Structure 1
Amino acid sequence: MNFTPFHSLRITKIEIFKMNIPLKEPFVISLGTVRETQNTVIKIHTNNGFYGVGECSPYPFIVGEIQASQFEIAKMLAQLLIHKNPLEIESRHNEMDQAIWGNFTIKSAFDIALYDIMGKYCQLPIYALLGGKNDKSYCTNMTVSLQSPEKMAQKASEFQSAGFPFIKVKLGGNSHEDIARIQAIRKVVDNKIPLRVDANQGWEVQSAIAILRELTPYHIAYCEEPISKWNANALVQIRNKCDIPIMADESIGDHHDAFRLAQMGACDYFNIKLAKCGGLFKALKILEIGEAAGIKSQLGGMSESRLALTAGLHLAAARKSLFAYDLDSPLMLTEDPVIGGAIYHKNGQVTLCNEPGVGADLDPGFLSKLEKTIVE
């Protein structure tokens, strides 16, 4: 492979894939049910032989994107980026944002692929490009999806037996049912294990206050997005009236949202998802805002494979303000097509790789079976 000077590197071809993988069982939240990943994969080729791979997972009820729309938008963005320099990541982001508003999830797949190329070009893992070290330990929670109190307690008990030190619980029903869910879980899960609850915007303001006050004795680490994402003023009110810390998730689309919430004092924590903010480039901006405001962040995900979540872990290795990890989606999939990447161990422990770029790729045999289009 010949060395190509920085200024001469160009994108020569972009492949766009539809990647569907069934979940082991339906994943239910207050906003809807997911039965399979319907993800989009971007593979960007360059004139020096390097390529970068990115992935994103659209949740239509959260980000307003679906796989079919992403496929079409991706073709448009690929036409925009073809023959451009992949190492000029800020310029490529500016071009995508100028071409179409929003659509952060599909843009995140391009972003990951661009950073993958940069890492391979520099022969460095992404965390090193961002000034970090691979010297942290990571531990993901496991999530109990929204069901009856009895079924949720059974699932939480299974996760405790599997050794997960943190359990995330989906809520967002009525007050009586959600309190009963936590009570049932606490009957079978040791109080030493913190519960991370997530209402996914499912409560009204007064209900949220009442429920969180009722749940205070049950060792709740924090509550994600208790009310509608647009209602930041009321989020301030909830935070001031409840002892359980508040984590903003759906209300943070990008760094502009993060600045507004931090300025208002609306939350204790941010939940950063590459698929929600547009990728690593803008996730770094959110972290900078959080760090300036004294707000720590969780690294989360949608229904990605290990490919996209490995990219997220590079961010975690580069920034100390990421303190919690919600990266259990690969454990919910019926198939793992990823080569290399982060390794999932027992008890929720995750190890980051040290290879250049993302350090993860998709099996060529798996990719060959997927629907795809090519822009060149």
Structure 2
Amino acid sequence: MKIADVRVTLADIPVTRPHTMSFTTLHAVNFAFVRVETTDGVTGWGEAACLGGPTWSEESAESVAATIERYVAPWLVGRDASEVEPLRLEMARRVQGNPFARAAVEMALWDLNGKAIGVPVHRLLGGKVRDRVPLSWSLAVADPDAELAEAHAKVALGHRIFKIKTAAHPVAQDAERVRRIREAVGPDVALRADANQGWDRPTALRAIRALEPYRLDFVEQPVPKWDLGGMAEIARSVSVPIMADESCCSPHDAMAIARLGGVSILALKLTKSAGILGTMAIARIAEAAGLGCYVGCMIETSLGTAAYLHVALAATPVTWGCELFGPLLLAGDVVRRPVQYADGAILALDGPGLGVEVDERRLKEWTRH
């Protein structure tokens, strides 16, 4: 299967309501979509979603496109698309960093290979260990009353897990938000909090202790990503489990976190880890270290969500569910039939490749001109 063509399309899709995090308020997600085609006409698609530019990481949709078009596509054409691991290693050698760009290309290769032999990606990863993954909805609404109304509406639709975006406001305000949400949804709904690196060590300790009465499942990334020692120290000082996200992008990061101890959960994201293979490596390290995993998101369309879902289905330590809600928050999609949800979970995809079919006419609606 020789690669004949690699194309990148930039697009922007609004969210249905502003999404407020510690580092930005999101009004639209920026995308780089990658299409890889072989000489015999098989196509695979990948996606990198970026949150309003280089905000979550150093990459933007524009940098992803430039990296692929200038530094990956020229040598990828003519290569054997079935050699995913050798191509992954060569991308890593030729392109330092830039995991979102590398992930989008690798994603397209997995899609292409699954389609070529007629099996879903999760089967290529060893098979699925679950048929559905519990779904967490992120509460990130600036207006407190609107946030409560959103939580009520989601509970009525079957959602039983909420992650509350924190650290954009003072600790007392966040604690009050969490108190009101807990009171509104009741004791049987799971709550988590995500600071997105928004606190320093003393603020994180104060904040987490203020949130402890509301029975949180975990607090995600309370301190800056470089402060692994601080995160371990905080994890040992509070009763709420701590999850590493921005601090855990590579297998090396996962090893360092496991050695330091304290942290209980690793967040998996395909784009921060340069693709499916890097993400599965982190999951294996978590499993060996006795840690749980959770599959996060960058608010992808059904295309990127499908890729993340195959990992969530196949990685054994994903015991904390996922937040693959992107298609529910975005104002539009790029596939013919979106991923499916039921009873507070996202359902397995069993079609060939990623299991979704890109509709290029729908993609064109959101493409930059």
TM-score range, shorter chain: over 0.9
Contact 1:254 1:282 survives alignment (8 Å)? yes
Query: Is 1:19 equivalent to 2:11 in the alignment?
Result: yes
* Equivalent residue, structure 2, for 1:142: 137
Query: Is 1:335 equivalent to 2:327 in the alignment?
Result: no
* Equivalent residue, structure 2, for 1:252: 248
* More displaced 10-residue stretch of structure 1: 45-54 or 335-344: 335-344
Alignment of 1:103-122 (within 5 A): 103-122=98-117
Q: Structure 2 CA distance, aligned partners of 1:80 and 1:33? A: 38
Q: Structure 2 CA distance, aligned partners of 1:160 and 1:170? A: 18
Cα distance change, pair 202–146 in 1 and its aligned pair in 2 (3 A): farther
Q: Structure 2 CA distance, aligned partners of 1:38 and 1:256? A: 28
Of 295, 310, 316, the match for 1:320 = 316
Of 157, 160, 164, the match for 1:165 = 160
* Equivalent residue, structure 2, for 1:187: 183
Alignment of 1:132-281 (within 5 A): 132-133=127-128, 135-172=130-167, 173-281=169-277
Q: Structure 1 CA distance, aligned partners of 2:368 and 2:285? A: 38
Q: Sequence identity, in percent?
A: 29
Q: Structure 2 CA distance, aligned partners of 1:266 and 1:31? A: 25
* Equivalent residue, structure 1, for 2:37: 45
Of 30, 48, 52, the match for 2:22 = 30
* Alignment TM-score, normalising by the size of structure 1: 0.92
* Alignment TM-score, normalising by the size of structure 2: 0.94
* Equivalent residue, structure 1, for 2:74: 79
Cα distance change, pair 289–135 in 1 and its aligned pair in 2 (3 A): closer
Q: Structure 2 CA distance, aligned partners of 1:367 and 1:229? A: 34
* Aligned residue type for 2:49: S
Shift of 1:312: 1.3
SS of structure 2 residue aligned to 1:167:
strand
SS of structure 2 residue aligned to 1:138:
strand
Count residues with an aligned counterpart.
364
Contact 2:9 2:33 survives alignment (8 Å)? yes
Q: Structure 2 CA distance, aligned partners of 1:220 and 1:74? A: 40
Q: Structure 1 CA distance, aligned partners of 2:151 and 2:47? A: 29
* Aligned residue type for 1:129: L
Any runs of at least 4 consecutive aligned residues in structure 1 with deviations exceeding 6 A, and if so which? Answer: none
* Equivalent residue, structure 1, for 2:50: 58
Contact 1:337 1:362 survives alignment (8 Å)? yes
* Aligned residue type for 1:206: P
* Equivalent residue, structure 2, for 1:4: none
Cα distance change, pair 371–183 in 1 and its aligned pair in 2 (3 A): closer
Q: Structure 1 CA distance, aligned partners of 2:239 and 2:115? A: 46
Q: Structure 2 CA distance, aligned partners of 1:321 and 1:85? A: 32
> Where in structure 1 are there 5+ consecutive unaligned residues?
1-8
Query: Is 1:309 equivalent to 2:305 in the alignment?
Result: yes
SS of structure 1 residue aligned to 2:50:
coil
Q: Structure 2 CA distance, aligned partners of 1:314 and 1:240? A: 33
Q: Structure 2 CA distance, aligned partners of 1:43 and 1:117? A: 10
SS of structure 2 residue aligned to 1:61:
coil
Shift of 1:193: 0.6
Cα distance change, pair 237–147 in 1 and its aligned pair in 2 (3 A): same
SS of structure 1 residue aligned to 2:267:
strand
Contact 1:340 1:359 survives alignment (8 Å)? no
Deviations 1:53-97 (A, max 9, x none): 111112322221112222211202111211111111122112211
Query: Is 1:297 equivalent to 2:293 in the alignment?
Result: yes
* More displaced 10-residue stretch of structure 1: 226-235 or 145-154: 145-154
Contact 1:153 1:181 survives alignment (8 Å)? no
Deviations 1:317-340 (A, max 9, x none): 212211211111110111122124
Deviations 1:99-157 (A, max 9, x none): 22111112111111001111122221111111113742222111110525444333323
Contact 1:127 1:134 survives alignment (8 Å)? no
Cα RMSD for the two superposed structures: 1.8
